[in-house]
Structure 1
Amino acid sequence: MGRAKKNIAIVGAGLMGHGIAQVFAQSGHRVRVFDAHTAALDTLWPRIAKNLADLGLETGAERHVSGHTDLGESVADADVVIEAAPEKLDLKRLVFADLVRLAPKSALL
């Protein structure tokens, strides 16, 4: 029997965020990636596909990944939320304050 697929939310579509999204997507989990910058989201799927191609793996995992500019929408039904925002303490504090307010109480932050 396989493991249950989870709803994963990633906050940040940068270097770490897209890689984390890729790993969860490769396992078949539904992944929502939030980034306030649409330019980061525009490159999300090509970067994941390139990583998989470079590894010689099927590039279909990116179909499990969606990009969002609305944090509430991104985390609405998340089982797990992973923060991958830039390494700025004040920003991370703001992100976690929003996550506590917006994510389901049952979500692992």
Structure 2
Amino acid sequence: MGIQDIIEGKKQWRAHMARVKALPPDYQIVYKEIQRYFFKVGPIDLPDGSLFSGIVDFFEEGVAAGKGVLELIGNDVAAFCDDLIKDSRTYADIYQESIGGEPGTAEK
């Protein structure tokens, strides 16, 4: 990764965050909670940025339709996030596999 890639990445992230800041306050709050959840859970494909931009696209469509954010995602932000990444591998899955267990199972 060269310096140009880093600069371009920062430009894209700033443009993305400008879109987030243009959303109504309730959408911004939920977006930040989603972002925090994903940074904790760690889906592997998170760095490519398509997940977050897709969420902003979805939120912008909801705003245009005059819907509240909870009408779009429901009352449980974590459940919404889990549904988004249910078929994606996470860093927790990789760790579980590295210690010899199957993802999603606990050893007795």
- When normalised by structure 2's length, the TM-score is 0.30
Higher relative contact order structure (alpha carbons within 8 Å, sequence separation ≥ 6):
1
Structure with the higher fraction of residues in strand conformation: 1
Instruction: Specify the structure having the higher radius of gyration (Cα).
Output: 2
